[in-house]
Amino acid sequence: MEVQVWRADVEERVVTNEPVPASWEQLGGRSLIARILLDEVPATCDPLGPFNKLIIAPGLLVGHMVSSCDRISIGGKSPLTGGVKESNAGGSTGLKLVHLGIKVLILEGTPTEDKWWILHLNANGGRYEPADDLFGHGVYQTTQRLLECYGPKIGIALIGPGGEMRLTAAGVQNLDKDREPSRISARGGLGAVMGAKRLKAIVIDSSGGEKPPLADPELFKSAQKHYTKELMDHPQTASYTNYGTAAMTRMSDGFGGIPTRNYSSGTFEGVEKISGEAMRDLLLARGGASNPTHACMTGCTIRCSNVFGDVKGNNIVSPVEYETIGLIGANLGIDDLDAIAHINWELNDLGLDSIEIGAALGVAAEAGLMEFGDARRAMELISEIRQGTTLGRVLGSGAAVTGRVLGVGRVPVAKGQAMAGYDPRAIKGTGVTYATSPQGADHTAGLTIRAKVNHLDPKEQMEISRISQIKMAGYDTLGICLFGGFGFAKTPGSIRDLLKGRYGWDVGDDVLQELGRETLKLECAFNQAAGFGPEDDRLPEWMTTEPLPPHNSVFDVPNEDLDRVFDWT
Amino acid sequence: MEVQVWRADVEERVVTNEPVPASWEQLGGRSLIARILLDEVPATCDPLGPFNKLIIAPGLLVGHMVSSCDRISIGGKSPLTGGVKESNAGGSTGLKLVHLGIKVLILEGTPTEDKWWILHLNANGGRYEPADDLFGHGVYQTTQRLLECYGPKIGIALIGPGGEMRLTAAGVQNLDKDREPSRISARGGLGAVMGAKRLKAIVIDSSGGEKPPLADPELFKSAQKHYTKELMDHPQTASYTNYGTAAMTRMSDGFGGIPTRNYSSGTFEGVEKISGEAMRDLLLARGGASNPTHACMTGCTIRCSNVFGDVKGNNIVSPVEYETIGLIGANLGIDDLDAIAHINWELNDLGLDSIEIGAALGVAAEAGLMEFGDARRAMELISEIRQGTTLGRVLGSGAAVTGRVLGVGRVPVAKGQAMAGYDPRAIKGTGVTYATSPQGADHTAGLTIRAKVNHLDPKEQMEISRISQIKMAGYDTLGICLFGGFGFAKTPGSIRDLLKGRYGWDVGDDVLQELGRETLKLECAFNQAAGFGPEDDRLPEWMTTEPLPPHNSVFDVPNEDLDRVFDWT
């Protein structure tokens, strides 16, 4: 099966295939998105207009079910930040695309008619099918309908009502290995870009497809084996297996950095009720659908995901992640895991980023639209989004717009994108990442919480953010999950061998860093062409002046450091 | 009376005076604002935070009631555009400040308490008086209360509920010579900056003050006389005396450039009902309070303003200007002058920019929130602003936010600020001004409609915009009304003589251009420091692709030309 570039012109409703250009061959996932944006998308274009493209690119290692290495990157020019955007997810989308020989799927144009479509891809090519009957339906119901229609073996990337409404907090949902539409490419409003293209869903039927060939099967297999063992042996892996990302709840609170009541405190009095430990105990006690240990991708040995069930044994939502616990829990003063899980389902069904909406609700609470701690009111506000009221559209546009409209100055954003569950005044290296990442505030672009530094000291933060940003950009290019990194910690050469085994490329030991640096360089170039400059690589003014309890620290990493992050030559 | 810089620290509630720094001496109005912003305001600061300043600077010629030369400039970092902002107005504020020896009034800081204040200035200095009882009151009622309290001779600069709510379409109202709070420094959200400083009003009692001294009274008087005669003799002056700015209605429609139904057409079928000629006939026929010819400043011989009365002889609003006719009339499909006048009063009372709100309502109509032509519904939507509902706050945040929230792509803005009553696809030189002015889309920054060029031809537009922008920046520095320019058209040396006569400065014949270039240079420097680049000097993408009837033209002035506007060395 020849590896090709697939293009779907949603205006003309055609799908075409073409050879992979030489300059794209050794790129994948996040780096390929940046390259295509630079090559094909005018940097100053309207992100919801006809010149933006939605780019769906599996990472370079996707296709062989190596543990945690099958992630899908979705990208384009962000309608939230106005800059480059890549948002990756687990699930099965990447695997299915690769099995059809799709190096990258590029969605182009905007239709003139207000009709909705499904893009159906299989070994024979692509076709469009009418989807007006799916318009307005939530992600879960839409998924059910598509599975009934196209059979249980498909992959799906789809949007909910949030993307249909072109809300800039909307993401693209992907099926996990159990066909739950729970793996969201959440950040940066890519669901709105898909909505602007009037695509409700992309259905991927990979039957007749195949795993990509291996240049050196033996080398590949041995590298895979070595990596998997190292991953399983790493102490952190067990923690994620047991507690998932929710392990971060206590840790973030312990550092005084959990966002609490619209980032007004770094410690939450209700933290023990919403910790990973509390959630594991709860799920184990409940049994039934509940499962504290669950894999989102076939072959994943970490299994950091979970299934959150109710007392009767029914599934509420899968998974509940730390970022949602942080932003919907502590940040809204909500200490009830069931309430958080129900809100999480609602946001998943709407196809919205729970970080962005959590931050927007925190701002709304500060404006007096809800009391902190009132989960019922939070749900009411989210139902405004579903109804498409003006208030709902404001919230669905994210924290920056919510603050602007409601007249709230304390808005936790960088480049217009909400911060995740680590207050940059307490975890300052992550603050450097928020400020400088071409992606806008994004913990997955370079979290530093595990670095062995004093997180309150403004020194050294630039270096640890840089190291982390380069590494993450590399992982996002390869399709490796953040946690897969534990398996490469001692033997980075495994990445070299996996690439050699798969493609036959003669790459060096530091291929991860090389790919990361190349990716960041491309992304910075796109942002620069879009009009970004050093002034955009800053945190909000109030975070530099308003002390954060309990450490009463402000964000004080010098601007000179922020301006040197990508200056590594 | 010594000319000084007055500073009002609204946090400490003190007012201090200091000598004028040498580098500020030969600047005034718009240029002095730009200089102070560069000297004292961090370009990247939060416009509604403690580091922004509200700067109130009379033009250099203000103080002697030379016709049309007493304008006040109000400025700061704009919460609408994020860049430099100066918005000037007629009325009496400038005159009163100068008579107290105030070169510039700088408002600093933000109070920690949510209490409202009046800043009272007189010959003895400044003091703060509580104004919580005025909170929530409209501009007209507030003015009445202040006049009752402080006597009829005061000047006032004040905000309405829009500024209190820190809406980014809020301006600062100034009294005209008849104590009507009708001269609004409308653009760029400066009312929100004043609201962030919790100042409801600045009351200026200039009793005991005096006209500034003249270095050469004879030269000044003779220059004044020559200028006034030339102004009165200019054919355009009579047109403005008769029809005011509303004379532009037919002209703009004639060029196919009147904004109609959210900038979807450049010609309006109802234009004859809302033209300057129709308004003059109506006002003459009505009599009573109605007056088609009215001066906003003492000594103005043009008298382009008007008083719009109802059929019973009562005052509805003063004045009705072309921009309001264009944006509230044609742009909303409303062809009823009475309805436009009533809406105009409402917006004045709220202290809002009728251009920004007209554009926002056009976008809202496109989103389905009103039918074009439905004035009653437009008034309902404006009442949402007064009530402070979320929808009201969206509209009050201006056209760009309204488009973002409501999911409308056809938004007529540049640098986040709404365009005025000239569609840049039909009057392309003004499009160059909209795109490149450091102020954002602003016709007063360099209107080109009177230039003798083919307005549809993309060539030559850069040059005429540049000439106009330089001239206007000069006028705004001197305090000269746009229409005062007719009096300097044949004898530009009059400006030189007025400055020599007033200050004894040895300036050249092209002092207007020198001041204009210096002003633009300072403004560009501030914007650059705030993060603006060439990518911000562009019109919206859709205006470059969507043809405008009746000429079916798009905005096609090349980017290279846009990038050369300020490159005059």
Q: Report the distance separating Cα B441 and Cα B417, nearest Å.
A: 6
Sign of the torsion angle spanned by Cα atoms A537, A541, A545, A546 = negative
Distances from the Cα of A470 to the Cαs of A37, A460, A539, B143, in angstroms? 19, 16, 20, 60
Closest Cβ–Cβ partner in A404, A409, A538 for B401: A404
Q: Tell me whether residue B480 is exposed, middle or buried, using C-beta atoms within 10 angstroms of its C-beta: 0 to 12, 13 to 18, 19 or more.
A: buried
Closest Cβ–Cβ partner in B165, B391, B409 for A407: B165
- The tens digit of pLDDT for each residue in B369-404 reads 999 999 999 999 999 999 999 999 999 999 999 999
Query: So what's the pLDDT on residue A568?
Result: 82
What is the DSSP secondary-structure string of B193-238?
A: HHHHTTEEEEEE--TT--PPP-SSHHHHHHHHHHHHHHHHHSHHHH
Query: So what's the pLDDT on residue A529?
Result: 97
Q: Is the CB of residue A5 less than 8 Å from the CB of residue A39?
A: no
Query: So what's the pLDDT on residue B569?
Result: 62
Across the interface, whether the CB atoms of A391 and B393 are under 8 A apart is answered no
- The tens digit of pLDDT for each residue in B161-214 reads 999 999 999 999 999 999 999 999 999 999 999 999 999 999 999 999 999 999
Q: Report the distance separating Cα B119 and Cα B425, nearest Å.
A: 44
Angle CA B46–B50–B56, to nearest 5: 95
DSSP 3-state of A307: strand
Across the interface, whether the CB atoms of B535 and A529 are under 8 A apart is answered yes
Closest Cβ–Cβ partner in B49, B167, B532 for A409: B49
Q: Which positions ≥6 away from A501 have C-beta within 8 Å?
A: A214, A215, A216, A217, A218, A219, A220, A221, A222, A223
Across the interface, whether the CB atoms of A401 and B401 are under 8 A apart is answered yes
Q: Per-residue pLDDT for B129 more than 90?
A: yes
Across the interface, whether the CB atoms of B542 and A397 are under 8 A apart is answered no
Distances from the Cα of A339 to the Cαs of B38, B68, B73, in angstroms? 50, 64, 53
Q: Report the distance separating Cα B173 and Cα B182, nearest Å.
A: 6
Q: Which residue of B has its CA nearest to A535?
A: B531
Chain A nearest CA to B420, separation (Å): 22
Closest Cβ–Cβ partner in A394, A404, A533 for B531: A533
pTM over the 0.90 mark: yes
The Cβ of residue A450 has, within 10 Å, a number of other Cβ atoms equal to: 10
Which two structure tokens, joined as six digits, stand for B45? 């600061």
Q: Report the distance separating Cα B193 and Cα B46, nearest Å.
A: 10
Nearest to A343 by CA among A330, A357, A333: A357
Query: So what's the pLDDT on residue A569?
Result: 62
Angle between helices A461-478 and A511-530 (to 10 degrees): 100
Closest Cβ–Cβ partner in A393, A534, A540 for B406: A393
Closest Cβ–Cβ partner in B405, B531, B536 for A401: B405
Chain B nearest CA to A367, separation (Å): 11
| Contact residues on chain B for A404, CB-CB shorter than 8 A | 168, 397, 401
Chain A nearest CA to B31, separation (Å): 24
| Contact residues on chain B for A531, CB-CB shorter than 8 A | 532-536
| Contact residues on chain A for B535, CB-CB shorter than 8 A | 43-44, 529-531
Distances from the Cα of A519 to the Cαs of A68, A85, A484, in angstroms? 20, 12, 19
What proportions of chain B, in percent to the nearest 5, are helix, strand and coil?
Answer: 45, 15, 40
Angle CA B433–A77–A8, to nearest 5: 120
Chain A nearest CA to B52, separation (Å): 12
Q: Which residue has the tokens 């534990």?
A: A486
Chain A and chain B share a number of CB contacts under 8 A equal to 82
Across the interface, whether the CB atoms of A531 and B530 are under 8 A apart is answered no
Nearest to B322 by CA among B252, B381, B260, B263: B252
Nearest to B383 by CA among B367, B361, B366: B361
Query: So what's the pLDDT on residue B515?
Result: 98
Query: So what's the pLDDT on residue B537?
Result: 98
Q: Report the distance separating Cα A380 and Cα A374, nearest Å.
A: 10
- Say which DSSP state B332 is in: G
> Model ipTM?
0.96
Chain B nearest CA to A44, separation (Å): 7
Q: Per-residue pLDDT for B551 more than 70?
A: yes
Closest Cβ–Cβ partner in A404, A406, A531 for B533: A531
Do the strands A54-58 and A102-108 form a parallel or antiparallel pair, or are they unpaired? antiparallel
Q: Give yes or no for a cis peptide into B111 (omega within 30° of 0).
A: no
| Residues belonging to chain B with any Cβ–Cβ distance to chain A shorter than 8 Å | 43-46, 48-49, 51, 165-168, 389-391, 393-394, 397, 401, 404-407, 409, 529-536, 538, 540-542
Tens digit of each residue's pLDDT, chain A (569 residues): 799 999 999 999 999 999 999 999 999 999 999 999 999 999 999 999 999 999 999 999 999 999 999 999 999 999 999 999 999 999 999 999 999 999 999 999 999 899 999 999 999 999 999 999 999 999 999 999 999 999 999 999 999 999 999 999 999 999 999 999 999 999 999 999 999 999 999 999 999 999 999 999 999 999 999 999 999 999 999 999 999 999 999 999 999 999 999 999 999 999 999 999 999 999 999 999 999 999 999 999 999 999 999 999 999 999 999 999 999 999 999 999 999 999 999 999 999 999 999 999 999 999 999 999 999 999 999 999 999 999 999 999 999 999 999 999 999 999 999 999 999 999 999 999 999 999 999 999 999 999 999 999 999 999 999 999 999 999 999 999 999 999 999 998 999 999 999 999 999 999 999 999 999 999 999 999 999 999 999 999 999 999 999 999 999 999 999 999 999 86
Closest Cβ–Cβ partner in A168, A404, A538 for B397: A404
Q: Which residue of B has its CA nearest to A169?
A: B405
Interface probe with A: pick from B198, B380, B390, most Cβ of A within 10 Å: B390
Angle CA B109–B110–B112, to nearest 5: 130
Q: Is the CB of residue A503 less than 8 Å from the CB of residue A217?
A: no
Q: Which residue of B has its CA nearest to A397?
A: B405
Nearest to A325 by CA among A394, A272, A254: A272
| Residues belonging to chain A with any Cβ–Cβ distance to chain B shorter than 8 Å | 43-46, 48-49, 51, 165-168, 389-391, 393-394, 397, 401, 404-407, 409, 529-536, 538, 540-542
What is the DSSP secondary-structure string of A478-538?
A: HT--GGGGGGGSS-THHHHHHHHHHH-----TTHHHHHHHHHHHHHHHHHHHHT--GGGS-
Closest Cβ–Cβ partner in B404, B406, B535 for A531: B535
Across the interface, whether the CB atoms of B409 and A535 are under 8 A apart is answered no
| Contact residues on chain A for B45, CB-CB shorter than 8 A | 541
Across the interface, whether the CB atoms of A535 and B536 are under 8 A apart is answered no
Q: Which positions ≥6 away from A17 have C-beta within 8 Å?
A: A4, A5, A6, A7, A125
| Contact residues on chain A for B397, CB-CB shorter than 8 A | 404-405
Across the interface, whether the CB atoms of B404 and A401 are under 8 A apart is answered yes
Query: So what's the pLDDT on residue B131?
Result: 98
Across the interface, whether the CB atoms of A407 and B393 are under 8 A apart is answered yes
| Contact residues on chain A for B404, CB-CB shorter than 8 A | 168, 397, 401
pLDDT band, very low/low/confident/very high, at B1 (cuts 50, 70, 90) = confident
Q: Report the distance separating Cα A341 and Cα A321, nearest Å.
A: 10
Which two structure tokens, joined as six digits, stand for B32? 């002095």
Could you give phi then psi for residue A486, rounded to 5 degrees?
-60, -30
Q: Walk across the sheet containing B305-309 and list its strands.
A: B291-294, B305-309, B315-317
Q: Per-residue pLDDT for B568 more than 90?
A: no
